[in-house]
Amino acid sequence: MDLRILLQPICLRRIIFCAGFYVLQVGPLFAIYTFGPSILAAFRLGQGNASNLRIRGDDLVFLIDCLPALTVIETWGRRPLIIWCFALMSMPLFVLGFAPSAPVGVIVACFLAYALFSGGPSILEWAYPSELFPTNVRASAVGITTAVSRIGAVSGTFGLPFALTGWGIGPTKLVAAVITFAGFLPSLFLAEETRGMTLAQAGGQAADDGATPADAVAAATVAD
């Protein structure tokens, strides 16, 4: 196993992409999920059975939000899925940040929308790193991207209580929105499309000769 492959420009770009969108998604996501009751309380939704029902409702949406993504990942493609999901995930957070005193229905709808659109990146956190790297270094590349993502998870989970205390719920949500929107940028500029490719086409040949996945598929087609 030659880990120098990971230092090739195309592999470095893919590591930056995978680690970048991964860390920028799980930071706000883990914080929101871990401190759901505290966040709902800050939005005046933390009282009694109604609050418990809303928390369980969000839990259910987070559980099933991957199903639509699994349905469209092969028909629509990885690149449009991750780009649109990051864009749509950030919008409800911006609404919550700018209007923390919005009606209850708006607040609940924003949380549900965020949970729903998080399904795409949650699926692609595992699909993209497994597809974009050659077999002989795939495990190492996946390990690197996963390790970097823990920085976001720890930072978001550790920092959210301090942000709520020091800034309040509105600015805290705006920070979460900006971080989430930042995940849109590497997705827009670096995401590749691997739909319909074999692992060898998506990762192996592209990493070996510097070709893009589209070039790998074209070469395989000509060879056939």
Burial bucket for residue 165 (CB in 10 Å: 0-12, 13-18, 19+): exposed
Pick the CATH number of 14-197 from 1.10.3720.10, 3.40.640.10, 1.20.120.420, 1.20.1250.20: 1.20.1250.20
Encode pLDDT of 29-83 as tens digits: 888 877 777 787 777 766 555 555 566 666 666 667 777 888 888 889 999 999 9
Encode pLDDT of 82-91 as tens digits: 999 999 999 9
Is the pLDDT assigned to residue 189 strictly greater than 90? Answer: yes
Task: Judge contact between 54 and 40, C-beta under 8 A.
Answer: yes
Task: Read off the pLDDT of each residue in 6-22 and give the average, rounded to a whole number.
Answer: 91
Is the pLDDT assigned to residue 208 strictly greater than 50? Answer: no
Q: pTM above the 0.95 mark?
A: no
State residue 49's pLDDT score. Answer: 54
Calpha distance 186→114 (Å, rounded)? 19
**Which of 104, 32, 22, 98 has its CA nearest to residue 61?**
32
Task: Judge contact between 213 and 202, C-beta under 8 A.
Answer: yes
- Domains of the chain by residue range: 14-197
The CA-CA-CA angle for residues 207, 5, 135, to 5°, reads 65
